[in-house]
Structure 1
Amino acid sequence: MKINEIVAQNFSTIFEDNLRQEICNYGILKKADPDKIILEIRREIEFIPFIVSGVVKVMRRDGKGNGIFLHYLTTQQTSALAITYALQNKISDIRLKAESTISYITVPVKTVNSWFVKYNSWRSYYFQLNYKQTSFLIEKINDIAFENLEFRLLKYLEQASVVYNDNTINRKHFDIARDLKVSREAISRVLKKMEKDEIISLGRNKIILN
């Protein structure tokens, strides 16, 4: 499928004609396999990725091996944080990593920044996206501060289930522990309790929501 067909299929109800044409003119269609990093921390942001298929994980990293999962990006989305960093000419403090095989369109930052002046649909899209993703972050801070690990873990699994439209979450205990910034032993212990309570069923590197 050509880029103009993909843009029309994904963004015809979101962006006006001229903006969609600019995405076609300046955008590059790319694909990435699972675990491929498409935006790295401590790097200048040269392009903004628009997801057209698959799932991308957004993480906050400190460059010392420490990090925490923030939220997912799916079809018709991009990272409001990445746009904000680019607007301020700041290097990235987040990592965008493909969770599944993904297709995405990269558009140069200079082009994206010009849309704020030119297109009402872009401003509306960005503000809605920023509100939604900021709400995710506030909710995550609230959960870390006030909720126990079982609540956080169940919420994490339910979010993954919704994103993938599948009750089976294929993930190692180590990866979950890293995303939630807790020990692997703590995750394994809580998962076993949840299985005993018949909330989930455990398999090899997979968790099934009952």
Structure 2
Amino acid sequence: MHSQIKKIFPSFSNELIAEIEANDSIKSFESGSTIMRTGQYIKNTVLVTKGQIKVYREGEDGGEFFMYYLQPGQACAISMVCATKNEKSQIMAKVVEDAELIMVPLSLMDTWMMKHRSWYEFVIHTYRSRFEEVLEVIDSIAFRAMDERLEFYLKRHKDACGCKDLKLSHQEIASELNTSREVISRLLKKMEQRNLLKLHRNHIELLK
């Protein structure tokens, strides 16, 4: 287990990894599982070792707005923030690819921040990375037309999976961009006409 953690989190010191092994619990989640819900108290910091997790912000009307992915080697910054203030979660997280997570008790957060430089730097890097991603999302919403937002959305998914074949329905995209399915279908058709992508029955193939 030590070598596995070191491979996925290469910046962690050996001392930190030893403490993680002594205090963690490893859990597996199938695709489609919800691992964090809006309004719940968070008891663990989540470190991703396998799979992909999609993080959403829920609206009052029940809509889901996509914020960012969590990949192997990353942690949930929002769980860390909520932990330090003992606040309820403001986001929802769903597994989109079978995942394995290391659940680290939040009670150790402050101790490790002071005791392990590598943990301190990892937490700061996590905050900064998520903050930059959220800023990109805000810029997309505030300063781009829907066609540009759609291209930005598809690029983020391509980068996250490292592939050009995206298993996304028109309705799923519409919900995550807070618009109608008809608008998304029309824009995707225009992108297909520009040879940017090819539409299939159950997936979207990016050509560029």
| AA of the residue aligned to 2:88 | I
Query: CA contact under 8 A between 1:7 and 1:24: conserved in structure 2?
Result: no
Counterpart of 2:157 in structure 1 is 160
Q: Distance in 2 between matches of 1:133 and 1:57?
A: 13
Superposed counterparts of 1:1-210, under 5 Å: 3-11=1-9, 13-62=10-59, 64-210=61-207
Query: CA contact under 8 A between 2:6 and 2:12: conserved in structure 1?
Result: no
CA 1:18/1:179 → structure 2, altered by over 3 Å: closer, same or farther? same
CA 1:63/1:51 → structure 2, altered by over 3 Å: closer, same or farther? farther
User: TM-score, structure 1 length as denominator?
Assistant: 0.94
| CA apart distance, 1:63 | 5.7
Structure 1: tracts of 5 or more residues without a match: none
Structure 2: tracts of 5 or more residues without a match: none
Q: CA RMSD in A?
A: 1.3
* Count of aligned pairs between the two proteins: 207
| CA apart distance, 1:110 | 0.6
| AA of the residue aligned to 1:37 | T
Identity %: 29
| AA of the residue aligned to 2:47 | F
User: TM-score, structure 2 length as denominator?
Assistant: 0.95
| CA apart distance, 1:76 | 0.6
